């Protein structure tokens, strides 16, 4: 049995995602496709537009066999740590043969050369120099790699290609037996908000959904049938779309009350930024203003959004370092079909990682509030907090109850 792994966000699952899963299955001649997916907060520090179980359900109904959650302590991180977290989780399953990932440039030799360049100390120094001079990460990285002779000037430094390069670095270090399988990204660009293309970006889909508040004909054209139906059901129930703006008072209150020491203990915050953040928090009244005031070339929106999520989650720098040392400690199942269930049996037989299908089997609501955790429970508790915050961001007050992780089990969808 061949198994292909994918690391994704599916925010939401669209036709481009379905194409990747189908194409990867064909290229690898795989029986099973396993996706490791971000939970309720994404790599760029944004809140997911619908809940993680329904995103996973859409994926399983549209070509994926098993969806596992990437713990929030790896999901809400820069590309390097996001990639490492996903790769280590796939590796610990013990059954994954291939890693498929989308990229604007699917030339494996070109991507591998760029990945090798990132491990060159001279490239690292050039990258730091570029960042210190105010360049954004993509531009500084491109200049450093070109100067080191690792890539040509026309190599696209896009979010997808940056992740592709980081996946290759992580594979070399943590999972050399898993073979890379790049799939050329088709359709709209990563940040494109145009829905006219048949393969619209997740950014465009979210933008249109927030504007319209409904699944318009244009959205139907961009989404698999299952995703469109799930979205319509959630919108009708007031369970979507989630919006970070509903958490802005909590964010501002936290920023205004934390000490400098507490702020500096937060991941993504370096010395000097804490003063800028506290000053801004006292002088603005909403989240967009806060981000605009704090933003610099060194601290772009994505980095600022991530640090605000870590403030909400209560994660601290030392805690994150410990999680980085251990890697993912569990495989938490969100949705699966019959093929996924068969794969899960093999994973359980290997016993190389704890499998969680019900949260209460690892951590119940009473223990959660004692805060006396094992390392696994400590990692899982962050996911539970993320879900509670997600629920507070939903339109209907009836959907904002806490403890959803303790009530919702993995979704099983038998193969048709």
Q: Compute the average pLDDT of residues 150-176.
A: 88
Rg (CA), the chain: 21
- Residue 406 binned pLDDT confidence (cut-offs 50, 70, 90): very high
Residue with token string 């909403």: 286
Q: Are residues 222 and 261 in the same domain?
A: no
Percent of the chain residues past pLDDT 70, beyond the cut = 97
Q: Is 122 domain-assigned?
A: no
pLDDT score of 157 more than 90: no
Q: Is 74 domain-assigned?
A: yes
Q: Is 203 domain-assigned?
A: yes
Residues in Cβ contact with 84 at an 8 Å cutoff, skipping those fewer than 6 apart: 74, 166, 170, 173, 174, 324, 327
Last residue of a domain, one of 320, 353, 375: 320
Q: Are residues 168 and 304 in the same domain?
A: no
Q: Compute the average pLDDT of residues 294-304.
A: 87
Residue 194's region, left for phi above 0, alpha for psi from -120 to 50, else beta, is beta
Q: Is 62 domain-assigned?
A: yes
Q: Is 60 domain-assigned?
A: yes
Q: Are residues 42 and 171 in the same domain?
A: yes
- Report the SS3 class of residue 69: strand
Q: Are residues 57 and 182 in the same domain?
A: yes
Q: Are residues 7 and 63 in the same domain?
A: yes
Q: Which has the minimum average pLDDT: 140-154, 223-237, 356-370? A: 140-154
The mean predicted confidence, pLDDT, of the chain is 93
The DSSP element (H or E) to which 137 belongs, if any, is helix 137-147
pLDDT score of 177 more than 70: yes
Compute the distance between CA of residue 263 and CA of residue 275 in angstroms, rounded to an integer. 9
Q: Is 65 domain-assigned?
A: yes
CA 212 from chain centre, in angstroms, equals 25
Compute the distance between CA of residue 276 and CA of residue 274 in angstroms, rounded to an integer. 5
More confident residue, 200 or 1: 200
pLDDT score of 189 more than 70: no
Last residue of a domain, one of 320, 348, 373: 320
Q: Are residues 100 and 223 in the same domain?
A: yes
Helices then strands, counting H and E runs in the chain, come out as 21, 8
pLDDT number for residue 161: 87
Q: Compute the average pLDDT of residues 238-262.
A: 95
Compute the distance between CA of residue 212 and CA of residue 118 in angstroms, rounded to an integer. 42
Q: Are residues 173 and 315 in the same domain?
A: no
Q: Are residues 87 and 213 in the same domain?
A: yes
Kindly report the number of other CB atoms within 10 A of residue 107's CB atom.
12
Where residue 74 sits, what CATH number does that domain have?
3.40.50.620
**Using N-to-C axis directions, what is the helix angle for 137-147 and 159-174, rounded to 10°?**
60
What the block records as the tokens of 299 is 């601290």
Residue with token string 């997808």: 160
Last residue of a domain, one of 296, 320, 344: 320
- Residue 313 binned pLDDT confidence (cut-offs 50, 70, 90): very high
pLDDT tens digits, one per residue of 190-247? 455 667 656 888 999 999 999 999 999 999 999 999 999 999 999 999 999 999 999 9
Q: Is 327 domain-assigned?
A: no
What the block records as the tokens of 27 is 């290229």
Q: Are residues 189 and 302 in the same domain?
A: no
Q: Which has the minimum average pLDDT: 6-10, 201-205, 332-336? A: 201-205
Q: Compute the average pLDDT of residues 300-321.
A: 95
The number of folded domains in the chain is 2
Q: Is 330 domain-assigned?
A: no
Q: Are residues 201 and 76 in the same domain?
A: yes
The DSSP-derived string for 97-131 is -EEEEEES---HHHHHHHHHHHT-HHHHHHHHHHH
Give the range of the structural domain holding residue 296, as residue numbers without chain letter.
Answer: 244-320
Q: Are residues 18 and 77 in the same domain?
A: yes
Q: Are residues 274 and 209 in the same domain?
A: no
The DSSP-derived string for 243-256 is -GGGGHHHHHHHHH
């Amino acid at each position: 049995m061949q198994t292909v792994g994918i690391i994704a966000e599916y925010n939401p699952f669209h036709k481009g995602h379905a194409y990747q899963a189908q194409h990867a299955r064909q290229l690898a001649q795989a029986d099973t496709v396993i996706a490791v997916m971000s939970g309720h907060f994404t790599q760029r520090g944004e809140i997911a537009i619908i809940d993680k179980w329904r995103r996973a359900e859409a994926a399983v109904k549209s070509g994926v066999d098993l969806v596992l959650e990437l713990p929030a302590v790896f999901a809400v991180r820069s590309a390097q740590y996001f990639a490492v977290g996903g790769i280590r989780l796939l590796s610990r399953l013990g059954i994954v043969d291939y890693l498929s990932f989308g990229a604007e440039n699917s030339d494996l030799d070109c991507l591998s050369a760029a990945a090798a360049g990132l491990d060159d100390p001279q490239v690292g120094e050039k990258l730091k120099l570029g960042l210190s001079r105010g360049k954004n990460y993509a531009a500084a990285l491109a200049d450093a790699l070109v100067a080191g002779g690792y890539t040509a000037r026309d190599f696209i430094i896009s979010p997808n290609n940056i992740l592709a390069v980081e996946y290759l670095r992580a594979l070399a270090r943590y999972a050399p037996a898993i073979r890379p399988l790049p799939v050329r990204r088709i359709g709209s660009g990563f940040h494109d908000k145009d829905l006219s293309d048949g393969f619209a970006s997740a950014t465009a889909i979210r933008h249109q959904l927030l504007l319209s508040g409904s699944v318009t004909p244009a959205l139907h054209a961009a989404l698999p049938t299952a995703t469109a139906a799930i979205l319509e059901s959630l919108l009708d129930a007031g369970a979507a779309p989630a919006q970070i703006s509903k958490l802005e008072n909590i964010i501002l209150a936290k920023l205004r009350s934390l000490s400098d020491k507490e702020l500096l203990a937060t991941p993504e915050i370096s010395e000097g930024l804490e003063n800028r953040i506290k000053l801004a928090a006292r002088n603005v009244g909403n989240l967009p203003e806060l981000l605009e005031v704090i933003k610099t070339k060194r601290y772009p929106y994505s980095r600022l959004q991530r640090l605000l999520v870590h403030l909400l989650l209560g994660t601290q720098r030392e805690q994150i370092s410990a999680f980085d040392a251990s890697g993912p400690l569990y495989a938490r199942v969100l949705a699966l079909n019959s093929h996924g269930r068969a794969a899960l049996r093999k994973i359980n037989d290997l016993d190389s990682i704890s499998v969680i299908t019900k949260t209460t089997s690892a951590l119940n609501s009473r223990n959660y509030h004692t805060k006396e955790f094992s390392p696994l429970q400590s990692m899982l508790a962050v996911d539970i907090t993320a879900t509670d915050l997600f629920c507070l961001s939903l339109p209907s007050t009836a959907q904002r109850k806490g403890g959803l992780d303790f009530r919702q089990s993995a979704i099983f969808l038998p193969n048709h």
